[in-house]
Amino acid sequence: MLVALALVLARAEAGGQVVAMRNLAFGTILSGTTTAVSKTSASSAQWRFTGTFPLGGTAFLTLPTTLTGPGPAIPITFSTTDGQYNTVNNPVGGTSFNPHNSQSVPALFNGTVYVWLGASMSPPANQTPGTYGGTVVLTVTGML
Amino acid sequence: MRFKRRAAAASALLLALTAPAARAQSLMVGSPAIVIDDRTRTGALTLINDGIAPAEVSVSTFCGYPVTDSAGRMYLRTFATVDDSMPCAAQWIQSFPRRLRVEAKSRATVRLLVTPPAGLQPREYWARIVVSAKAGQVAVGGLTEASAIQASLALEIRSVVGLFYRKGAPRTGVMLDQLRAVVQGDSLVGRTLLTRQGDAAFVGSLKAVLRDSTGKVRSQSQLPLGVYYTLEPRFALGVAGLPAGPYELAVEAVSSRPDLAPDMLLPTLPVHQAVKVMLP
């Protein structure tokens, strides 16, 4: 499915570049409610893949299940449609993908692909106030 | 009451405005593979940060090699523990430094030192180098609302690079078998079994060519790969618009890749296999 994306991923090295453009920002949220950041919103996580990626390879996201901070960890979830990619810098009109799945790439990619990621979190009522965070890891592996 | 609502709204707005700024972070690894000879036992990894933010980088190693799943998709199989039969060099590798900060628009070199055990058998040994990069910490400015919850996810990029440690004069080759293909939509999808020969990984490409009954090439593809034990990858050739009839599908395994310098690869003789296929 993500031929374009995958390719991209296959090589962050010579000729190709992977850029983490922005973190995923929930901003200020309320205890006891579910807050979702849409993959098409300006608060979603975003990467950009540019250049030539001649390797077959794989790329996958390692997604956290909780956000940690001063209080109990807050659950965070990613749906099967929370990933999106497009060849232009606009998620609208792009292609959805499941961020839980590894993406493979068999052929040559040349150009630019943008990738977005949304998520939802549900802090329980009376959650301890403060700043909570986690990390999404994008692993790029060439097949050699 | 109205004042409280306005104050809360202003607080929320302030927090939104003072959230960690988006700062593009980019780190390139200079080569997709590193070859280290037993005589020097040292190598280098060039890291290039052409982003606008510093990158916090860590370097680590693990054992793994590409395999294929039941559908022929390649993925990297990794091992938390390694038995004695696997020629894994991950535990012998030290990087200097292991952690570093690469400033924006600059580059850095990480030195790799291999310390193999005594009496090591001549052959090729394998490892994977992981370069993990996170954007440098960005200070959150402004006031914070003591009763509010703020949350964000940081992004980390890990680039996995192959490392080949060669002692003596390792040799490699590959054997092709079980070539077959079926038409799926507008593609001819093929698979073949590659079995590595010798005592080093076969790193190269699988070229596939579809010829018509006159011998004219009507479609072709190239799949870069690495064969450590066996691999049975899927490849696809576009056949949209080709007339129905008999064709020949030929595959060739060669020790060259578009992304690697020839001197990094062990030379082999090309290996071929061909089958007849019928396009509907």
| Banded model confidence at residue B128, pLDDT cuts 50, 70, 90 | very high
- Out of B12, B135, B156, the one facing A28 most closely (by C-beta) is B12
Contact assignment for A15 to B158 by CB distance below 8 Å = no
Q: B141-154: per-residue pLDDT in tens?
A: 444 566 789 999 99
Q: Residue A2 — pLDDT band, cuts 50, 70, 90?
A: very low
Under a CB-based contact definition with an 8 Å cutoff, are residues A102 and B77 in contact? no
pLDDT (0 to 100) of residue A109: 54
Question: Does the pLDDT of residue A3 top 80, yes or no?
Answer: no
Instruction: List A130's β-bridge partners, or say none.
Output: B149
Give the residues across from B190 on adjacent strands. B181, B235
ipTM above 0.90, yes or no: no
- Could you say which of B27, B76, B226 has the minimum Cβ distance to residue A58? B76
3-state class (DSSP) for residue B9? helix
Cβ separation of B159 and A140 shorter than 8 Å? yes
pLDDT digits 0-9 by tens, B167-181 = 999 999 999 999 999
Q: Which range has highest mean pLDDT (B26-30, B243-247, B255-259, B262-266)?
A: B243-247
Query: Per-residue pLDDT averaged across A105-127, rounded?
Result: 79
Q: What mean pLDDT do residues A108-137 have?
A: 88
In whole angstroms, give the CA distance from residue B215 to residue B207. Answer: 16
Highest mean pLDDT among A113-117, B34-38, B83-87, B135-139: B34-38
Cβ-defined contact of B25 to A69 (cutoff 8 Å): no
Residue of A nearest to B69 (CA): A104
What is residue B47's predicted lDDT score, i.e. its pLDDT? 93
pLDDT tens-digit map of B50-108: 888 889 999 999 999 999 999 998 888 988 888 888 999 999 999 999 999 999 999 99
Does B151 contact A at CB distance below 8 Å?
yes
> Which amino acid is it at A106?
P
- Report the chain B residue with the minimal C-alpha distance to residue A128: B149
pLDDT for A1 beyond 70: no
What's the whole-number average pLDDT of chain A?
Answer: 81
Cβ of B157 within 8 Å of Cβ of A106? The answer is no
pLDDT given at position A65: 96
pTM of this prediction? 0.83
**Residue A58 pLDDT class (50, 70, 90 cuts):** confident
pLDDT of the residue at A52: 53
3-class DSSP string for B158-226: EEEEEEEEEECCCCEEEEEEEEEEEEECCEEEEEEEEEEEECCCEEEEEEEEEECCCCCEEEEEEEEEE
Q: Do A28 and B148 touch (CB under 8 A)?
A: yes
Average model confidence (pLDDT) across chain B: 87
Which chain B residues in 211-230 lie under 8 Å from chain A, judged by CB atoms?
221-226
How far are the Cα atoms of A106, B66, B103, B190, B195 from residue B178, in angstroms, in the given order? 20, 19, 51, 10, 11
**Amino acid B145: pLDDT:** 60
Chain A, nearest residue to B15 by Cα: A28
Q: Is the pLDDT of residue B3 over 50?
A: no
**Separation CA A45–CA B77 (nearest Å):** 27
CB contact under 8 A, B259 and A11: yes
SS3 B37: strand
Whether B75 and chain A come into contact, CB under 8 Å, resolves to yes
> For B1-18, what is the mean pLDDT?
41
Instruction: Inform me whether the C-beta atom of residue B30 falls under 8 Å from chain A C-beta atoms.
Output: yes
Chain B residue numbers touching A134 (CB-CB < 8 A)? 153-154
CB–CB of A64 and B153 under 8 A?
yes
Q: What is the DSSP letter of A68?
A: B
- When CB atoms are compared, the residue of A12, A15, A133 closest to B151 is A133
Residues of B in contact with A55 (CB under 8 A): 32, 224, 257, 259
DSSP state of B5: H
State the pLDDT at residue A79. 97
Supply the pLDDT for residue B15.
37
Nearest to A48 by CA among A24, A17, A23, A25: A17
Report the residue from B24, B75, B149 with minimal CB separation from A28. B149
* CA B153 – CA B151 distance, rounded (Å): 7
Burial of A70 (0-12, 13-18, 19+ CB in 10 A): exposed
Q: pLDDT band for position A104 (50/70/90)?
A: low
- In terms of Cβ atoms closer than 10 Å to its own Cβ (0-12, 13-18, 19+), residue B26 is buried
